[in-house]
C-alpha cells in the first residue's frame, strides 16, 4: 500500500483515488467481485458510491466476501 503498511493477502480494493484522497466509483464491480472470490479474497474495499452495484451480486457471493464501503483513503488504510 502507498503508506508502507502491509495489506493482508485476502484483501482487495477497487476504486479511483484523487490527489486529495477521495475514493471515486468505478465500473465492473460484479466482475471484480467474482474474480476476487476465485483469487481467495475475503474482503473487498470499494467506493461507497458503488454500493448500489452490490444489488447485481448474487447472495452466495455476498455471504462469502465482506464488502467495505469507503469515501476517503484514510478509511481504506483502516480497512486494509
pLDDT of residue 2: 60
Count of structural domains within the chain: 1
All residue ranges of the chain with pLDDT < 50 are none
Residue 6 lies in a domain: no
CATH number, position 46: 3.30.230.10
Range of the domain at 70: 11-79
Q: What is the pLDDT of residue 3?
A: 64
pLDDT at 61 (0 to 100): 92
pTM: 0.88
The pLDDT, as a whole number, for residue 8 is 86
Sign of CA dihedral 8, 79, 68, 23: negative
Kind and range of the H or E element at 46? strand 43-47
Model pLDDT, residue 66 = 96
Amino acid at each position: 500500500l502507498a503508506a508502507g503498511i502491509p495489506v493482508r493477502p485476502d484483501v482487495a480494493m477497487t476504486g479511483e483515488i484523487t490527489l486529495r484522497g477521495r475514493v471515486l466509483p468505478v465500473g465492473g464491480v460484479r466482475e471484480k467481485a467474482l474474480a476476487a472470490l476465485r483469487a481467495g479474497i475475503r474482503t473487498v474495499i470499494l467506493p461507497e458510491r458503488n454500493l448500489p452495484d452490490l444489488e447485481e451480486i448474487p447472495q452466495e457471493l455476498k455471504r462469502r466476501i465482506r464488502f467495505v464501503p469507503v469515501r476517503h483513503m484514510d478509511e481504506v488504510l483502516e480497512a486494509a
